[in-house]
Amino acid sequence: RALGPGAEPLLRAMREARPAAELGALLCNLSQAAEGRRVLLERSGRVVRRMLEMVRGTEAAELRRGAVGALRNCCFEHGK
């Protein structure tokens, strides 16, 4: 609800070959909200796999830090 139509552009930006470094901070902030974690932890796991690629890849340090923070925050999401 809070993301509204804003989730799709974010997910598209993550699929780019070289996402903007600022995307890391956005991911980390988004993952602090329960609704944001639900978007990032979508059922297929594509978003989580992409964040793991960002951590392991040669992405900008700012992007890696944001992806690590988002993954850490997602660990606090409890399944129902």
Query: Could you give the angle at which helices 61-74 and 22-30 cross, rounded to 10 degrees?
Result: 10
Backbone angles phi, psi at 17, to 5 degrees: -60, -40
Is 46 contained in some domain?
yes
Q: For the segment 1-51, what is each residue's pLDDT rounded down to a tens digit?
A: 455 566 778 778 888 888 888 888 989 998 998 888 888 898 889 889 999
Is 18 contained in some domain?
yes
Is 28 contained in some domain?
yes
Q: Which amino acid is at 40?
A: L
pTM summary value: 0.81
Number of domains comprising the chain: 1
Is 1 contained in some domain?
no
d(CA 45, CA 40): 8
Is 2 contained in some domain?
no
- The parent domain of residue 70 ranges over 7-76
